[in-house]
């Protein structure tokens, strides 16, 4: 990809760090039954090692914009991996469950910082034309690590013990940290973003209260307490959402949830993550404590599902591009339900092949849904809203993981409703897991219901349709018929260097500057940039001659460097000429010609929806000529 030796080394170090922290998320799953036995805790308690991990990430992820603006990427990566190492050592030495959980939370904080930093560094290292391939490498790491994690963990737990898992991880993380000191180059330049502490407190308090209420809902001696905790959590989260709506720079822009398709997709993703992580936690407990198999077997039984799921997930993404959401989503939901029904049919005498087959089918269904549903939801957002949508989805995935794990595992405490307390441990474990499997089936049916009732492909009109509303034939041409709705834009904090990079990539001559609320506040053109480069001057007060024009003597390279670091808004035209999407095309042609404009922003009800350039007009004029 045209990288130097130093850059190649940096990429290898970054991918090693990413592989390690992602692997750690699933590495512990087969060890949970052993930890339950060694530390004398039940399933509803041990699940906090998984749900608490996801919950911590959900709180840390929204802080990344602030952290990238506050610290250099080198400091963030090395610091996060150092914290990860210390957390791993703490886990390995923990004499009891609370201290083990503390170490696990340290790991989660480090993961929540490290992964976005890796993405940022990869984007900075690779040239723009190779970034797609670069992100593919990161995606491969993220997909590969969870697939092999349970299998590796199972073998290690049976051979060297669960504590040695953390020792091994700590050693590997230490190697990455030491290598990073020599290999990583320091990157700065991210815009400084203020952090809203009350928002973080509300998010953390609401999620902890809700999660803890769900986790004790089936085991608490006081049935009122879980209800109070769940209600308190929902109320606090409502205050969090309300605060985001009133902040100029929210840590999570919840306004994007007003878009119907995106909000539906987000709900489905939350439930999908609940089923995915819930299955990964409850099956090892069933296999080891119910069937009496070692951790190695439980890890190996989950490997085919992870591998097949990843393969079918890739195919599902391609099918979505060709055929839309509804067909692939309904198919995926049916496959998922079939796999979870297989869980329900498992008994204390079931064969390992049946367990493996059920999990594999469920994973295929899950992965056939994740990518298409996520893409369908994000496609409903405008380009300027995509970063906010991605942040919401990333947080929703962690929320689904933590809440789903707590809900599913808490159901195991209801085993006393099926078998007496005097029954054997294996019988109690199987009864609890069977109830949890029923809970997974309920979540899978919820997913199917939402898909069938609410997910639709947008109607596509073909040339053979009888009622095509063709502009120029059935009605007057409008700006909306010609505008480009996927054009690039800048935000208020973008630099002139950002504008130049986008102009080079998209071969455009001008870019609107748009606020988060969709209001256009400026427009920077290639002419503005050329004027700044060609005629760089200042005014100075002179006692004898009044104000005198001074021409700068610095070279072109220095002027370019200075200009690139300027805010684009400082160089842009503030009095922006725009057109309405419903305006007449003929009137707009006249305006573009008379004012000699090459490109203008298009608004609908005062909010930016696209751009109109002379090239857009020429392309649109081809339709009536065919």
Check residue 330 and give its pLDDT.
94
User: Sign of dihedral through CA atoms 271, 273, 274, 279?
Assistant: positive
Strands (E), 161-240: none
Query: Comparing C-alpha atoms, which of 201, 274, 194 is closest to residue 237?
Result: 201
Report helix, strand and coil shares of the chain as percent, to nearest 5. Answer: 70, 10, 20
Q: Is the pLDDT of residue 300 over 90?
A: no
Residue 270 DSSP SS3: helix
Question: Which H or E run includes 510?
Answer: strand 510-514
What's the rounded Cα separation, in Å, for the pair 612 and 608? Answer: 11
Quick: pLDDT tens for 219-273. 677 778 888 988 998 999 899 889 888 887 777 778 888 888 889 999 999 899 8
CATH superfamily of 258-458: MFS general substrate transporter like domains (1.20.1250.20)
> Residue 3: phi, psi to the nearest 5?
-90, 150
Residue reference for tokens 């203008």: 600
Q: Exposed (0-12), middle (13-18) or buried (19+): which is 513, by Cβ within 10 Å?
A: buried
User: Is 468's pLDDT higher than 50?
Assistant: no
> What fold does the segment set 1-194 form as a domain?
Growth Hormone; Chain: A; (1.20.1250)
Using a pLDDT cut of 90, give the percent of the chain over it.
14
How confident is the model over 368-393, as a mean pLDDT? Answer: 76
- Taking alpha carbons only, the member of 218, 211, 215, 252 closest to residue 233 is 211
The region of weakest confidence among 85-89, 360-364, 530-534, 555-559 is 555-559
**Angle (CA) 60 64 70, round 5°:** 120
The CATH superfamily label for domain 479-625 reads CBS-domain (3.10.580.10)
- Percentage of the chain with pLDDT > 70? 82
DSSP 541: E
DSSP H helix total and E strand total for the chain: 24, 7
pLDDT for residue 615: 80
Per the rule left: phi > 0, alpha: psi between -120 and 50, beta: everything else, 110 is alpha
pLDDT value of position 151? 75
Mean pLDDT (whole number) for 113-133: 67
Mean pLDDT for the chain?
Answer: 78
Q: What is the pLDDT of residues 301-320, one digit of tens each?
A: 888 887 888 778 778 877 88
pLDDT of residue 184: 80
Q: Can you name the residues that pair with 546 across neighbouring β-strands?
A: 542
- pLDDT tens for each residue of 152-199: 777 777 788 888 888 888 999 999 999 988 888 776 555 566 678 888
Taking 80 as the threshold, does the pLDDT of residue 545 lie above it?
no
Contacts of 12 (CB under 8 A, 6+ apart): 183
Tell how far CA 76 is from the center of its chain. 19
Residue 409 has pLDDT above 90, yes or no: no
For residue 101, give every residue at least 6 positions away whose Cβ sits within 8 Å of its Cβ, in sequence order, or none.
48, 49, 52
Does residue 404 register a pLDDT over 50?
A: yes
| Nearest residue to 313 via CA among 290, 332, 292 | 332
H or E stretch at 539: strand 537-542
Q: Where are the domains of the chain?
A: 1-194, 196-250, 258-458, 479-625
Q: Which residues pair with 471 in a beta bridge?
A: 475
Q: Are 70 and 122 in contact (CB under 8 A)?
A: no
Residue 543 reports pLDDT greater than 60: no
The per-residue pLDDT for 239 is 93
Report residue 588 as tokens: 């707009």
Q: Is residue 222 within 8 Å of 191, Cβ to Cβ?
A: no
CA distances to 223, 225, 273, 413 from 218, rounded to whole Å, are 8, 11, 21, 6
C-alpha span between 114 and 111 (Å, rounded)? 5
Q: Is the pLDDT of residue 496 over 70?
A: yes
Same fold, 1-194 and 479-625: no
* pLDDT per residue as tens digits for the range 278-296: 888 888 888 888 788 887 8
* Average pLDDT of the residues in 492-505: 83
Place of tokens 């690139």: 564
């Amino acid at each position: 990809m045209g990288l130097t030796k130093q850059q190649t080394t940096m990429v290898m170090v970054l991918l090693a760090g990413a592989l390690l922290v992602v692997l750690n998320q699933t590495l512990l799953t087969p060890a949970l039954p052993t930890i339950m036995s060694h530390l004398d805790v039940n399933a509803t308690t041990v699940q906090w090692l998984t749900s608490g991990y996801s919950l911590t990430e959900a709180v840390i992820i929204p802080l990344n914009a602030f952290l990238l603006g506050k610290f250099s990427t080198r400091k963030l990566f090395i610091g996060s991996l150092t914290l990860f190492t210390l957390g791993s050592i703490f886990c390995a030495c923990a004499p009891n469950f609370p201290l083990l959980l503390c170490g696990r939370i340290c790991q989660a904080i480090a993961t929540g910082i490290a992964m976005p930093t890796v993405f940022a560094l990869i984007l900075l290292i690779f040239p723009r034309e190779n970034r797609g391939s670069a992100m593919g490498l990161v995606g491969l790491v993220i997909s590969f690590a969870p697939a092999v994690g349970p299998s590796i963990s199972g073998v290690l737990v049976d051979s060297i013990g669960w504590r040695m898992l953390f020792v091994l991880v700590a050693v590997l993380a230490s190697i990455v940290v030491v290598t990073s000191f020599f290999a990583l180059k320091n990157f700065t330049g991210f815009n400084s973003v203020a952090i809203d502490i009350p928002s973080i407190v509300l998010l953390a308090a609401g999620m902890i209260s809700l999660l803890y209420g769900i986790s004790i809902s089936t085991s608490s001696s006081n049935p009122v307490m879980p209800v109070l905790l769940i209600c308190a959590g929902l109320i606090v989260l409502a205050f969090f959402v309300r605060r985001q709506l009133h902040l100029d720079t929210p840590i999570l822009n919840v306004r994007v949830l007003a878009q119907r398709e995106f909000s539906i997709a987000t709900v489905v993703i939350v439930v999908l993550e609940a089923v995915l992580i819930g299955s990964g936690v409850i099956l090892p407990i069933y296999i080891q404590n119910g069937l009496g198999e070692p951790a190695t077997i439980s890890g190996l039984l989950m490997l085919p599902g992870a591998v097949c799921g990843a393969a079918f997930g890739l195919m599902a993404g391609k099918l979505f591009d060709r055929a839309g959401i509804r067909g692939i989503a309904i198919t995926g939901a049916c496959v998922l339900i079939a796999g979870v029904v297989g869980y329900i049919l498992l008994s204390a005498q079931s064969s390992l092949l049946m367990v493996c087959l059920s999990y594999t089918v469920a994973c295929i269904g899950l992965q056939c849904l994740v990518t298409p549903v996520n893409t369908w939801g994000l496609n409903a957002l405008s380009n300027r809203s995509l970063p906010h949508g991605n942040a919401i989805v990333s947080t929703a995935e962690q929320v689904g993981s933590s809440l789903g794990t707590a809900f599913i595992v808490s159901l195991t405490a209801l085993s006393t409703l099926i078998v007496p307390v005097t029954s054997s441990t294996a019988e109690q474990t199987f009864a609890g897991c069977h109830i949890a499997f029923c809970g997974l089936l309920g979540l899978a049916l919820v997913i199917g219901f939402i898909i069938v009732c609410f997910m639709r492909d947008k109607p596509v009109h073909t040339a053979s349709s009888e009622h095509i509303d063709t502009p120029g034939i059935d009605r007057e041409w409008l700006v909306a018929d010609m505008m480009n709705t996927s054009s690039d834009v800048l935000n208020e904090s973008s630099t002139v260097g950002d504008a130049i990079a986008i102009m080079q990539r998209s071969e455009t001559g001008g870019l609107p500057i748009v606020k988060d609320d969709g209001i256009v506040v400026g427009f920077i053109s290639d002419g503005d940039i050329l004027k700044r480069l060609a005629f760089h001057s200042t005014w100075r007060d002179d006692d004898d001659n009044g104000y005198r024009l001074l021409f700068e003597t610095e070279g072109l390279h220095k002027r370019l460097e200075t200009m690139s670091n300027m805010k684009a808004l400082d160089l842009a035209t503030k009095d922006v000429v725009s057109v309405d999407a419903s305006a007449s095309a003929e009137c707009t042609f006249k305006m573009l010609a008379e004012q000699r404009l090459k490109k203008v922003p298009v608004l609908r009800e005062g909010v930016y929806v696209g751009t109109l350039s002379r090239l857009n007009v020429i392309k649109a004029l081809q339709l009536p000529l065919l």
